[in-house]
Amino acid sequence: MIDIKFLRENPDLVKENIRKKFQDDKLPLVDEVIELDAQVRKAQQEADDIRASRNKISKEIGALMGQGRKEEAEAKKAEVAANAERLNKLEEQENELREKIRKDMMLIPNIIDPSVPIGKDDSENVEIKRYGDPVVPDFEIPYHTEIMERFHGIDMDAAGRVAGNGFYYLMGDIARLHSAVLAYARDFMINRGFTYCIPPFMIRSSVVDGVMSFAEMDAMMYKIEGEDLYLIGTSEHSMIGKFIDTIIPEEELPQTLTSYSPCFRKEKGAHGIEERGVYRIHQFEKQEMIVVCKPEDSAMWFDKLWQNTVDLFRTLDIPVRTIECCSGDLADLKVKSYDVEAWSPRQQKYFEVGSCSNLGDAQARRLRIRINGKNGKYFAHTLNNTVVAPPRMLIAFLENNLQADGSVRIPEVLQPYMGGMTQIQ
């Protein structure tokens, strides 16, 4: 959510930003907010005038009573009562107008960084850089669930009977590999100075509203029936929510946290053939990283965050590339975003395994996360990035480490987490 003062002073810039995101249907919201804002300020000014008049008349009533001029005092009291009734109406009007403004402002997209490429959708995202050589072996790479089944490592049929489509049982060495990747990712981030955290796996609607757009919430979140709680779709929401309604001393920044959590997602809509298996599912686990920092430091932290993911994948011998999301592919709260994509030898193309986002002060403004600095209080900047999400990570890992004899090589850095195993046979 952008600053209403910024919108008031720069309506054309806000409209141009909406056009860059190809959301022209939201253009009328800018003028509507400006009109509502003018009505609020008008009501507020009248209310302030009434309060000032009430204080003045109250003093006059006291003086009149002291002089024994009771009838005049009673007339003044009637005037105060009339003003009180008008003041109540103005306050109700002001609250209604502010709520309308808040709802409109929640729909207006954040101002994107000038460096973001302009494009309608993810087909116009821009490749930034590749890391590692993408290799296509001289033997056939089976589909990832077929690789897992060879090791008796997955049972989707049983999961379908228990929970329906979009769930799985991981078994044996594949389940162990899943946990090993998460444990390695945890320690990798701790060694880079991040504080490890296990957050709540449910959050209130006030946090949901603060961390994401309504469209994202509807497409992703599962609500707990009868309670003001949602299952988290990603731990960054719970982690950023940790700072709701807080004022952080400037000297305590940056806050750098890495978190483990299960994640639950509706995954609405139809998916292609490459999204069967464990590519897109309703429940998975993830290691995440978030940063709360001063505004002037957020660009630097953005580059650090996506680089962490690249470095981790490269230690596991998985080629990756970074993709910058174009304007039309950015969620409304995001200022700038990179996807990290891993190489798939089977498909002979890259696919998304993580996403790094700088949200500027949008989440902080919604959640009232402020910094107490030398020159007063101001809103923090928030960033988040995927360390690893093992379902997709397992796809990349198995395909890139599969050997001609059907075994899966375990990179050296992961061997301590696999009990010393050098390969899965």
pLDDT for 32-72, tens place per residue? 999 999 999 998 888 888 877 776 777 666 666 767 776 77
Which structure tokens are listed for 175?
């389940």
CATH architecture of 122-424: 2-Layer Sandwich (3.30)
The C-alpha atoms of residue 320 and residue 308 are separated, in whole angstroms, by 12
* Cβ 163 vs Cβ 295: under 8 Å: no
Which structure tokens are listed for 267?
């995954």
Which amino acid appears at position 332 of this protein? D
DSSP summary character for residue 415: G
The C-alpha atoms of residue 367 and residue 213 are separated, in whole angstroms, by 13
Total length of the chain: 425
Q: By CB neighbour count within 10 A (0-12 exposed, 13-18 middle, 19+ buried), where does 273 fall?
A: exposed
* Cβ 175 vs Cβ 151: under 8 Å: no
User: Parallel, antiparallel, or unpaired for β 202-203 and 230-231?
Assistant: antiparallel
The C-alpha atoms of residue 293 and residue 243 are separated, in whole angstroms, by 12
pLDDT for 269 equals 53
Helix (H, G, I), strand (E, B) or coil at 170: strand
Q: By CB neighbour count within 10 A (0-12 exposed, 13-18 middle, 19+ buried), where does 4 fall?
A: buried
Output the DSSP codes for 202-265.
Answer: EE-HHHHHHHS-HHHHHHHPEEPTTSS-EE-SSHHHHHHHTTTT-EEEGGGPPEEEEEEEEEE-
pLDDT for 275 equals 58
Q: Name residue, tokens 């930034």.
A: 128
**CATH dotted code for 4-107:** 1.10.287.40
Q: Write out residues in the chain with pLDDT < 50, as ranges.
A: 270, 272-274
The C-alpha atoms of residue 216 and residue 362 are separated, in whole angstroms, by 15
- Domain range annotation of the chain: 4-107, 122-424
pLDDT for 231 equals 95
pLDDT for 44 equals 86
Q: Is the pTM of this model over 0.85?
A: yes
Which structure tokens are listed for 272?
């292609």
The C-alpha atoms of residue 358 and residue 334 are separated, in whole angstroms, by 6
The C-alpha atoms of residue 186 and residue 166 are separated, in whole angstroms, by 26
The C-alpha atoms of residue 81 and residue 60 are separated, in whole angstroms, by 15
Q: Provide the CB-side half-sphere exposure for 104 (13 A, CA).
A: 22
